Amino acid sequence: MILPALLLSTLLAPAAQEPPAAPAASSASVDSHIDAGLAAFKKKRFRQAEIEFRQAVDADPNNAAATWYLGYTYYKIAEPKRPFDPGKQKAAELFAKAYQLDPQFKPAWSPSGPGGGSRRSHRAKPAAEPKAAEPAAKQG
């Protein structure tokens, strides 16, 4: 009697499934999407830039550069519209997220290469650890 009950509970219990493994984002792929997005942005092809930056964010959601550039692209698309356009709100949210990911992030507007921003600027860096307070100087 116990054996059939055990088999029945095994069949009716939800199967334990492992979540599918997320494909590892290649930093070269992320960088190439950012570079393509920057090139499109400089030509004022904001919709194409949005596609490239979105692909970079999708490949690496923790990339501050991709997040920031996507936000700025949303802002530029919404810029000629009314002041409270939802695109501007989305841009503000992405700016905040980018600086949360990397408080030291500074945009580099030229694609990687001679005279351009370095590829390292595209990657999110770990947040800097807070410095210990220095002792106050003695007055005397």
Among the residue ranges 2-6, 41-45, 134-138, the one predicted with the least confidence is 2-6
Confidence at residue 124, expressed as pLDDT on a 0 to 100 scale: 44
What is the structure's pLDDT at 75? 93
For residue 120, being part of any structural domain is answered with: no
What is the C-alpha to C-alpha distance for residues 118 and 56, in angstroms, rounded to an integer?
17
Q: What is the CATH number of the domain that holds 78?
A: 1.25.40.10
Q: Which domain holds residue 49?
A: 27-104
Q: 9 lies in a domain? A: no
| Whether the predicted pLDDT of 68 surpasses 80 | yes
pLDDT value at 6 more than 60: no
pLDDT of residue 126: 41
Q: Domain tally for the chain?
A: 1
Indicate if the pLDDT at residue 72 is higher than 90.
yes
pTM of the complete model? 0.61
Segment 89-131, tens digit of pLDDT = 999 999 999 999 999 988 886 555 433 443 444 544 444 444 4
